Amino acid sequence: MPSRASRSLAAVWAILRKECRSEWRTRYGLNSALLFAVTALVAVSFGAGRLGDRVDVLAAMLWIVLLFATLASLSHAFVREVEGQTLSMLRRVASPTEIAIGKLLFNLLFLAVLEIVTVPLFLVLMGAPPPRWGTFLALLALGSLALAVSSTLLGALIAQSRGRGALFAGVSFPVLLPVLAAAVSGTRAQWQQLPAGGEIRLLAAYGAALMAASLLLYDHLWEE
Amino acid sequence: MILRGLLLVWIAACIVLAFVWAPLVPVLADTTRVLYFHIPSAWVTVLALGWSMVASLLYLRTRRIEFDDHAATAAELGLLFCIAATVSGAFWAKAMWGAYWNWDPRETSIFFLLLIYVAYLALRSAIDEPTRRARLAAIYSAIAFVSVPFLMFVVPRIYFSLHPDPLINTRGKVDMDPRIRVVFYGMLLGFTALFVWLLRLRVRLLRLERARVDIAPVADRALA
Amino acid sequence: MEIKLEGNGLGHRYGRGRGLEPLSFALSGPGVVAVTGPNGSGKSTLLRILAGLLRPSAGASTLRVERCEFERAERRKVTGWASPDLHFYGELTVRENLEFAAEARGLTGRSVAVREVVGSVGLTSRLDDRAAALSTGMHQRLRLAFALLGSPPILLLDEPGSHLDAAGKGHLVEVLTRVRATTRVVLATNDPGERDLAEQSIALAGRGLGDTA
């Protein structure tokens, strides 16, 4: 008899695979997200030019592009469910937490793909100095985690309202402001050869706090 | 009735005393007076947010709609006081330091609270069904609750690295003359009482509105 | 199998105006019960509450299978629900939709279970068609297949015969005849033919949502 935990894991895995398969079949979400991110990037590059020495502006620009890409695309995981009216079916086969974690993992994967394309492009286009890879990647990973955790919960929230993209951006911004602040500060520090330990710790702590709060709140989300 | 009259008299007295009786703080000169309005407004903003969040959590725990009334009303009032605090703060900053906005820690914090209020109220306005609105707004409130301490922690860090010459906020260092203290605390009490009174008034109104909606169809049938 | 389904002053209100007037009932053991009533009297609402999808604003419901009580959150494990509100992933095939459901619910012998259930509603020929390509009638059959997945002890069917052609209805009757000895079926319907498939019936009176008097 499979244990409860392994059954939950199986459900999460099933949901993740379903999301990937749906995304692959329609490819709507990823395409438009990539387009948006690259457009934002090109706009910044075109407008600001190569900023090799201005690491403070570089750090800010990088995270603004990532933030905007997140706000433009991560809500669609749930919005698609609402538009297809498949939420009822989903709720019949898995618990709210399993659904949430499945969607979160998908959003993380989504962000990872987005960043694999966007970040190198950014570094090249903007003439950024070589980053301290360990710190840089840690900041990217933890920042992205926080972005994804917040977006998964808030995406589920606004999917049940009349609002869409603009409302999602509006409600996400206050929650993501600490992430933006810490990530920008840390990214700048690593380019200035300064320690970024504090920022990394903050991002990790915030991500963990958001995760913990989300897990407690998901059961209330679809109670109707 | 009597209490309301008392409140009116109290606040009026405080205002008069603020202009006539309390001395000026040397460093602040004529701008001293703002302190009697700006700080109590900011205080009520924080109080309102705190109460709104607590009420939201209580709603999730008990599902009693009165808590949602409290959460919503506290947010609406909090927004008003927040705007008052932000605007009065901006004018004060202009008078003291020559610029309306500096992104110094306090200004950033109050702006952040403003964002939370606006996002919360925008979310509420995007959901029509009362139970769902109460539940989803409460969930958002809980997440915002998590973000507040993190932002408060992060704000001094970004500020000090972006603006190397710290503009020390003299308010905290004011050595308060006893007369100033009297008026100040008097005003603080007055503002708090004002908030509580308005809160209870509106919550009562919401409750009556709900009762009317319930009775209306029965009454119509009885009359038909 | 011991099955108990009870409602105690169960009611629900959507915003202004009533959805479901307070209702009390007690059903025990397998069998088919029809829930009837005018449009908006709360048939779908009742089924959603029993399925655990909706928290009622008044009263409570109890669901017990083999002495185990199932709270709202757990009811999806022992109930099969089919309703006009149930939709599937259009970009996935019938097989993928059902196998996903089976996998997420932790059913063993997934592909066998899916094939069985698809066979009982007559959708076998459409297994590898995308759900978006199905007609409304076929879609309805898919809903029934979904509800039957895992042979749950309780079936909550909201207007199961809607959009079904003669063959589809035949499958429905076949299924109900087969399961009525082991399953508690609650059928929400206004169709007299479906009503006749039931041994008992619960009539919902009440204003419902449509009545704005």
Using a CB-CB cut-off of 8 Å, the residues of chain B touching C16 are 213
Segment A2-27, tens digit of pLDDT? 577 888 898 999 999 998 998 888 87
Cα dist from B107 to B46, B112, B146, B205, whole Å: 14, 9, 20, 34
pTM for the structure as a whole = 0.86
What is the CA C108 to chain-centroid distance, rounded? 22
Segment C48-100, tens digit of pLDDT? 999 988 888 888 899 988 888 998 888 999 999 999 989 999 889 999 999 99
Segment A97-136, tens digit of pLDDT? 999 999 999 999 999 999 999 999 999 888 888 888 999 9
- Nearest chain B residue to A171, by CA: B119
DSSP secondary structure code for residue C202 in this structure: E
Here the ipTM equals 0.90
Segment C141-187, tens digit of pLDDT? 999 999 999 899 999 999 998 888 888 889 999 999 999 899 999 99
Which pair of tokens denotes residue B216?
A: 């209306």
CB contact under 8 A, B135 and A154: no
Name the residue facing B220 among C14, C15, C213 (closest C-beta): C213
- The pLDDT of residue B210 is 83
Segment A167-223, tens digit of pLDDT? 999 999 999 999 999 999 999 999 988 888 888 999 999 999 999 999 999 988 887
For A39-60, what is the mean pLDDT?
86
Name the residue facing C106 among A2, A92, A96 (closest C-beta): A2
Task: Report chain A residues touching chain C, CB-CB < 8 A.
Answer: 2, 7, 10-11, 14-15, 17-18, 21-22, 25-26, 84-86, 88-89, 91-96, 98, 219, 223-224
B132 and chain A: CB distance < 8 Å anywhere?
yes
Question: Is the distance from CB of A190 to CB of A136 less than 8 angstroms?
Answer: yes
Could you tell me which residue, B154 or A145, shows the higher pLDDT?
A: A145
Using a CB-CB cut-off of 8 Å, the residues of chain C touching A17 are 100
For residue B202, name the pLDDT band (cuts at 50, 70, 90). very high
Name the residue facing A160 among B119, B132, B143 (closest C-beta): B132
For C120-132, what is the mean pLDDT?
90
Segment B62-104, tens digit of pLDDT? 989 999 999 999 999 999 999 999 998 888 888 777 888 877 7
Q: Cα separation of C80 and C152, whole Å?
A: 6
Using a CB-CB cut-off of 8 Å, the residues of chain B touching A171 are 119-120, 122-123, 140
CB contact under 8 A, B150 and A202: yes
For residue B58, name the pLDDT band (cuts at 50, 70, 90). very high
Q: Cα separation of A82 and A86, whole Å?
A: 6
Chains touching C (at least 3 CB pairs under 8 A) are A, B
- The pLDDT of residue C93 is 93
Counting DSSP H helices and E strands in chain A, the numbers are 9, 0
Chains touching A (at least 3 CB pairs under 8 A) are B, C
Q: Cα separation of B6 and B33, whole Å?
A: 23
Could you tell me which residue, A41 or B162, shows the higher pLDDT?
A: A41
For C98-125, what is the mean pLDDT?
89
Segment B109-149, tens digit of pLDDT? 888 899 999 999 999 999 988 889 999 999 999 999 999 98
